[in-house]
Structure 1
Amino acid sequence: MMSLHRKLGKTYTPADQQGFLGLGHVARAVIQVPYPDSDPFIMLMDDMLDKKDNIPVGGPHPHAGFETVTLMLEGEMGDEKHTMKAGDLQLMTAGSGIVHTETIDKEAKMRILQLWLNLPKKDRQALPRVQDIALEHVPTKSEEGLVLRLYSGSLGGFTSPIKNYTPFILADITLQPGATTVQDIPASYTAFLYAIDGNVLVGNEARQLNANQVGWLDRFSEEGTSQLRLEAGETGARVILYAGQPQNDEIVSHGPFIADTQEDIRRLYREYRNGEMNHISMVEEEQKMAW
């Protein structure tokens, strides 16, 4: 059987925009392709905050119909009950509907990648749950010129403990100057790279992806495995890999909700206004997982 090799396709540099948290909040919309091309990835924001006052920002807000996947790149956030630090990840299944609170009431400097991940249609109403994995418990491969941290899925011969409804891989890959790695990912997965630092040559064609650029990989209809080759440039590279199984279902998106129909959206707004959505902190203990 002929090996399938991933190629770098569409690339772009997401622009800095004023974030909703006010001065000091810069946001980048990482996903800028139509949903059928990004399926199962709905939205990914790169949020950079340099808050220089103690005025509270953020607050409680609802979600339903999808999962949020939050990777802390720099800084820390949270409260005395739970704090996320650089390198930590949280996967929150909003499912049937929850209220979530993200309030920052002090000076803070942080950078966060937050993904909206579609749920399979059969799991759209899943019981809400939250999973946290601290940096020190993230499966990590360190070899000559390569550090690979695997937050979700299977890659490089090992598997993350994070439980997934939608199969997907999330990996933080750091390469020393000139180092090369070849990773196997399912051929049918939608996949893209977000370059955090340096530059990297992608695929056998060695197309360059620079810092702050997004690069979408080609996708195959065949089942089986495809190979992704990465080679760091002369200053090294750090890239985040997202790869996931497309769900091939149409979705309706409105505000903080993802649903199958407009009637579902209206129902979710009614439930939220009527106070029928619990706060994520109130989920049953068996729905809270931490490593």
Structure 2
Amino acid sequence: MESVTESPSAGEDPTSNLNLLYIISELAIAVLAAGGNGLVCVAVLRTRQLRTVTNFFLVSLAVADVFVGLVAIPCAILTDQGLPRNQFLLCLFMLSSIITFTQSSIFSLLAVAIERYVAIFNPLRYQAIMTPHNAIIIIVITWVISLVIGLVPALGWNKGPPQSGLCLFVPIIDMSYMVYFNFFGCVLFPLLIMFAIYARIFAQVRWQLRRIATERHGNAENREGNKAMSKDVKTAISLFLVLFLFTVCWVPLHIINCLILLCPICQIPLPILSTAIILSHANSAVNPIFYALRMRSFRQAFVNILLGGRRSKKTRIFPTSGSSANRATN
């Protein structure tokens, strides 16, 4: 989920202290993003109760964040210095990879929101709809679409090689692509859909809670159903907060992109630009911390891995129960 605008360029002649602080911050985030999200992937692979359809999509999100730490942030540091010079095609693919990982994160969050919607509104058909096989197909499709979207600049929608030969985001990537196509079409529109989905989920939950309050005495089956719904709701709240964090971290950078396109005479102060870029990258590092704080199963799995805990007993990779599978994210 790499930055989608220009990092502080050499042409802007930033102070050495600010440039050093930027690089140190980026490197720290890269280590946290790669290590933390790698831990998420290992936790799901090694822990039976974490192998759920919901967590498959979270692993897809984690993989994108691992690539942010290993590929996108190093590319951002290089382009901060205008590198590689006089290598236009290589520069284009580096900048395109930045966009690809961001887009994959968005689509992973969208898949999670849709999965939660099915779990809440159609629990009886959840197992038939959200099978592991279908989840893998969805993940592959989201990555393919993200790759196509990210490669659009490399396929021709760019400003061409700059005369300076420097590899910088804004002089090469067309801001009309970044604002109208990428932000409005591929980022903002999915975000609005996701917020609408969660709003619908929480409205349904509120209605269910009112219904439960009027039915003070329920049979065992109703109580069990209410318990399962409560767990689904808790999961939905946690995942909505992940979406909220993503939005808070990325929207400032996209707003700056809009200013660059729509207000060419507007000057973006270097500290604000650097802060927005670092904030967008920091989103890749915060999700594992959030899982550890919010989701008990992930927290326990992280502790077991970090302390060298013995791998859980071999069992089926995919759970067979929709509701029981969803509990693992709590």
TM-score, length basis structure 1: 0.29
Decide which structure has the larger Cα Rg and report it: 2
Q: Which has the higher contact order (CA 8 A, sep 6+)?
A: 2
TM-score, length basis structure 2: 0.27
The structure where strand makes up a greater share of residues is 1
The structure where helix makes up a greater share of residues is 2
